Chain A
Amino acid sequence: MDFQFDDDHRMLAQQVREFALREVAKGAADRDLAAEMPPELIGQLAGLGLFGIAIPEEYGGAGMGTVASSIVVEEISKACAGTGVLLSAHTSLCVDPILRFGTKEQKQRCLPKLASGEWVGCLSLTEPGSGSDAGAATCRAELKSDGWHITGAKIFVTNGKEAGVMVLIAVTDPDDPKRRLSAFVVEKPTRGLRIGKLEKKLGIRCSSTAEFVFEDCVVPKEALLGERGRGMRVALTTLDGGRIGIAAQALGIAQACLYEATKYSKTRVQFDQPIGQFQAIQNKLADMAVGVEAARALTYRAAWLKDSGKEYGPAAAMAKLFASETCSKAANHAVQVFGGYGYIADYPVERFLRDAKITELYEGTSEIHRLVIARSLSEPRP
């Protein structure tokens, strides 16, 4: 047993932390207000190699795995959760399924561009009528002589605006209840695919959330990702891993909340002493710190299990559920410690509170995670 990072992970954390403080934190408030992700920032992330952190070296990446990609998401999210999720969705929702289920040709075509940041990746899964119940998707893909014809709509696609490629889940066999869905790799732009609505959101506002409209969009036969009829498995496996990324994002936000609240309570004086001297404030800080510590252990355990080729689904669900709820509590505490100043945009904690909430919703709501964990329970399980 060993809870410490290896040397290369420690160096990565240090490097990304410094970069995040220097380059990501400074524009975070403006990006939030403008609800925009500047291409220059994407270029900087690409320059550091962060898009290819989990992509094998033969495809132009760093070949480092899930512990490393979690470190990247955590450190970037401390500065800006919207930028954090850009990387998390890219790596765990697009790179990971292509790596896991893609053919050699698909990997050779997509991964180098995803590694370099030329392409940002995304996953098109959710529909207006299909959220937690992913199996209820209706977006249709029909095989004809010239390829797959896709018709329908996907919503809530993180990175949808920036993406150069997506993993798409669509209905190929509507009459086969066990094998209704298939996965595809769809490049963007493609004729017949357009971006519909761009969502206006409570938090993670600089991260784009797009609607994709498919109007007889034709993609080649080779766009099928994995076996026909196994789209549900691709989706669920992908989300299992994605949850680790969101746990890391939540961990980063929670850590930032703790940092800001601690700093503020040392300098803010009321009743002739720094408010950190009052037990009412100390109790909040302590609870935030314990939550962060526990979330960190759960998150990196799940990442380590995945990197070690062991079963990680329930561990990832625990990490995501715990980290996201810890994150929301920590953000709420942080605003409370700041009092009225916490409610205004001069300080970052109101943004943290808005950003925190999404971690309890996307890539599986807290309710879905409790179901995932409950279904995995078999005794004994220490």
Chain B
Amino acid sequence: MNFELSDDLLALQDAARRFAAETIAPHAREWDRNADIPRSIVAQLAELGFLGVLTPTEYGGVGLGDLGASVIMEEIARHCGATALMLDAHNALCTAHILRAGNDQQKKKHLPKLAAGEYLGAWALTEPGCGSDAAALSTTAKLEGNHWVLNGAKQWITNGHYAGVYVVMAGTTPEGGAKGISAFLVERGTPGLEIGPKEDKLGMRASDTVGLMFDQCRIPKENLCGKLNEGFLDAMRVLERGRITISAMAVGLARGAFEESLAYAKQRVAFGKPIFEHQSIQFMLADMAMEIDAGRLLTRKAAMLSDAGLPSKVEAAMAKLFTSEVATRAGLNAIQIHGGNGYTKEVPVERYMRDAKLCEIGEGSSQIQRVIIARHLLES
């Protein structure tokens, strides 16, 4: 047993923390308002290795596991949920899917460029008519000679506005359900791929979210990623693992809400003393601190299991469910502690709350996490 990070990860944490505080924090409000992250920041993230955290060194990444990725995610999300979400869709969805299912040629083609930030990666599963019930998707891919022809629509695609490559799940066997879906690599600029306008969102505003339209979109036969009809299964494994870093993101957002609130409570005076001296405020802060610690432990436990190659699906679901609800609660309480100030954009906590809400919805809603956990209990 040991509940502390190794020296290497502490150094990584320190580097990520400094970058987030110095380079991200001063601009996060502006990015939120403009609904965009400057491309110069993407380049800096690539330079730090953060666009290749899970990518092995042979493909130009830094080859960290989920624990290392979680450490980075928490630090980035501490100041900007949207930047963290961009990293997550890039690393834990797109890159992770190619790493898991792609052949050597596909890996060699895309992973070094993704790690170098030459382009961002996106991952497309959700559709207008299917969210939690992802196996009910209706986008199709038909083999015509040496090409797959994709038709259909995808929705809520993070990084979709800028991405250079999309991992797209599409039906390859009609009526095949979960066992009739395959994954494809679709490159930006492919004729028949139309990228919709950016969604206008509650939070995570600087992270771009778009719809994708496929109209007779022809891609080479060799762009099938993974085995035919196993794309949905791969996608589920990718999501199960991806929840670990979503969870770390929620911890970071909760920490932001907590740290801002603590600092404010110590300097804001009411009834002759800092509001931190009042039990009502102390109790909110104590609960935040406790829940953040608990959430971080759940996240890191899932990460360590995943890194060790052990089953981590249920632990990841628990971590994601717990931390996302903690983050939203922390965001709301942070606004409460800040009072009227917290309701304005002069302080960042209203943004943290808006960003946090996404964590309860994306990569499997809280309701889906509860079903995953309960099924495990009832089956074991």
Residues of A with Cβ closer than 8 Å to B?
1-6, 9, 67, 258, 262, 265-266, 276, 279, 281-283, 285-287, 289-290, 293-295, 297-298, 300-301, 304-305, 315, 318, 321-322, 367, 369-371, 373-374, 377, 379-382
Say whether A321 contacts B322, CB under 8 Å. Answer: no
The 10 closest A-B pairs by CB, nearest first: A282-B374, A374-B282, A297-B297, A286-B370, A373-B286, A286-B373, A294-B294, A370-B286, A318-B290, A374-B286
Residues of B with Cβ closer than 8 Å to A?
1-6, 9, 13, 67, 74, 255, 259, 262-263, 276, 279, 282-283, 285-287, 289-291, 293-298, 300-301, 304, 315, 318, 321-322, 367, 369-371, 373-375, 377-378
Say whether B373 contacts A290, CB under 8 Å. Answer: yes
| Partner of B374 from A276, A293, A379 at Cβ < 8 Å | A276
In the assembled complex, the Cα of A2 lies from the Cα of B2 at a distance in Å of 5
With CB as the reference atom, state the residue of chain B lying closest to A258: B377
- How far does the Cβ of A66 sit from chain B's closest Cβ, in whole Å? 11
- In the bound complex, residues from chain A placing their C-beta under 8 Å from that of B276 are 374
| Partner of A380 from B259, B283, B287, B290 at Cβ < 8 Å | B259
- In the bound complex, residues from chain B placing their C-beta under 8 Å from that of A2 are 1-2, 304
Say whether A318 contacts B298, CB under 8 Å. Answer: no
Q: Report if A373-B290 is in contact (Cβ < 8 Å); known contacts: A289-B373, A293-B318, A294-B298.
A: yes
- In the bound complex, residues from chain A placing their C-beta under 8 Å from that of B300 are 1, 3
Q: Report if A379-B262 is in contact (Cβ < 8 Å); known contacts: A286-B370, A301-B297, A373-B286.
A: yes
Q: Is the interface of A mostly helix, strand, loop or mixed?
A: helix
Say whether B263 contacts A379, CB under 8 Å. Answer: yes
Say whether A318 contacts B263, CB under 8 Å. Answer: no
| Partner of B279 from A293, A294, A369, A371 at Cβ < 8 Å | A371
Q: Is the interface of B mostly helix, strand, loop or mixed?
A: helix
Say whether A373 contacts B373, CB under 8 Å. Answer: no
- In the bound complex, residues from chain B placing their C-beta under 8 Å from that of A293 are 298, 301, 315, 318
Say whether B321 contacts A377, CB under 8 Å. Answer: no
Say whether A290 contacts B285, CB under 8 Å. Answer: no
Say whether B2 contacts A304, CB under 8 Å. Answer: yes
In the assembled complex, the Cα of A281 lies from the Cα of B283 at a distance in Å of 31
- In the bound complex, residues from chain B placing their C-beta under 8 Å from that of A67 are 1
Q: Report if A3-B289 is in contact (Cβ < 8 Å); known contacts: A290-B318, A294-B322.
A: no
- In the bound complex, residues from chain A placing their C-beta under 8 Å from that of B282 are 370-371, 374
Q: Report if A377-B294 is in contact (Cβ < 8 Å); known contacts: A286-B369, A305-B3.
A: no
- How far does the Cβ of B353 sit from chain A's closest Cβ, in whole Å? 19
In the assembled complex, the Cα of A262 lies from the Cα of B255 at a distance in Å of 34
- In the bound complex, residues from chain A placing their C-beta under 8 Å from that of B296 are 382
| Partner of B262 from A262, A369, A377 at Cβ < 8 Å | A377
In the assembled complex, the Cα of A298 lies from the Cα of B291 at a distance in Å of 10
In the assembled complex, the Cα of A3 lies from the Cα of B303 at a distance in Å of 11
Say whether A262 contacts B1, CB under 8 Å. Answer: no
- In the bound complex, residues from chain B placing their C-beta under 8 Å from that of A381 are 289
Say whether A298 contacts B293, CB under 8 Å. Answer: yes
With CB as the reference atom, state the residue of chain B lying closest to A303: B1
Say whether A300 contacts B285, CB under 8 Å. Answer: no
- How far does the Cβ of B266 sit from chain A's closest Cβ, in whole Å? 9
Say whether A5 contacts B370, CB under 8 Å. Answer: no
In the assembled complex, the Cα of A368 lies from the Cα of B36 at a distance in Å of 45
Q: Enumerate 27 A-B pairs (CB-CB under 8 Å) in ascending A order.
A: A1-B2, A1-B4, A1-B67, A2-B1, A5-B1, A258-B377, A276-B378, A281-B374, A282-B378, A283-B374, A285-B377, A286-B371, A286-B373, A289-B374, A290-B318, A293-B318, A318-B290, A318-B294, A321-B286, A321-B290, A322-B294, A370-B286, A373-B290, A374-B282, A374-B283, A381-B289, A382-B74
- In the bound complex, residues from chain A placing their C-beta under 8 Å from that of B301 are 3, 293, 297
Say whether A262 contacts B3, CB under 8 Å. Answer: no
Identify the interface centre among B13, B289, B377: most chain A CB within 10 Å of its CB. B377
- How far does the Cβ of B49 sit from chain A's closest Cβ, in whole Å? 21
- In the bound complex, residues from chain A placing their C-beta under 8 Å from that of B315 are 293
In the assembled complex, the Cα of A9 lies from the Cα of B2 at a distance in Å of 13
In the assembled complex, the Cα of A282 lies from the Cα of B377 at a distance in Å of 9
Say whether B294 contacts A287, CB under 8 Å. Answer: no
- In the bound complex, residues from chain A placing their C-beta under 8 Å from that of B2 are 1-2, 304
In the assembled complex, the Cα of A289 lies from the Cα of B259 at a distance in Å of 29
| Partner of A294 from B5, B295, B370, B377 at Cβ < 8 Å | B295
With CB as the reference atom, state the residue of chain B lying closest to A305: B3
- In the bound complex, residues from chain B placing their C-beta under 8 Å from that of A380 are 259
Say whether A289 contacts B377, CB under 8 Å. Answer: yes
